Amino acid sequence: MTADAPWHTIDEVGNLLEVVAALRKVPCWQAAFSYGDELYLDLGARRTYESGPMAGQPYGEWELFTRASPWCLSDSLGQDITSSADDRSRAEPLLAGLASTRVTDVAVGEADLTVSLEFANGQRLEVTCGAGDGADDGEQIACWELTTPDRRCLEVWPGGRWRLVPYERT
């Protein structure tokens, strides 16, 4: 990412909502874990890496990364299905229900920039953005990130800060 992108505040949440609103009606085709048991979703059209160590591997034209933030998947009644507190081995099969379902709604909390995605199967994924997210080792990292089809990355940080930066897949 680049440090040159301007920072925005929670007061400018309308601009952030314009970016995430484009996820409505987009299919989710994978919910998986990367290093450090970070949950990510591949959404939209499937694309493949063309070079490097990931050559030939698929990724979504949109990708949502939870980073070190707490997340929770709940059912249509609001009952928890699984969360970041669960072991990966327990969470993986429960997250499989997100594959092949569309995002029906997206919301971003105006108080803390928590993001929630609702899916056609009635499930809801919420990624919280608290003041201490990612600060366990003294380093702060983004609460969540969303890469877009037009090669940008929306980074949402603790304290109600966010920015939209250019993004190249490597």
Q: In this predicted model, which residue has the larger pLDDT, 105 or 53?
A: 105
Q: 35 lies in a domain? A: yes
Long-range contacts of 105-112 (CB under 8 A, 24+ apart): 105/24, 106/20, 106/21, 106/23, 106/24, 108/13, 108/16, 108/17, 108/20, 110/10, 110/13, 111/10, 112/10, 112/160
Q: 110 lies in a domain? A: yes
Q: How many domains does the chain have?
A: 1
Q: In this predicted model, which residue has the larger pLDDT, 133 or 48?
A: 48
Q: In this predicted model, which residue has the larger pLDDT, 150 or 12?
A: 150
Task: Give the range of the structural domain holding residue 42, as residue numbers without chain letter.
Answer: 12-48+63-165
For tokens 């983004």, name the residue.
Answer: 142
> CB neighbours (10 Å) of residue 14?
9
State pLDDT tens for residues 129-155.
976 544 454 457 899 999 999 999 999
pLDDT band at 57 (very low <50, low <70, confident <90, very high): confident
- Model pTM greater than 0.95? no
Q: 124 lies in a domain? A: yes
**pLDDT for position 55:** 86
Backbone dihedral region for residue 17 (phi beyond 0: left; psi -120 to 50: alpha; all else: beta): alpha
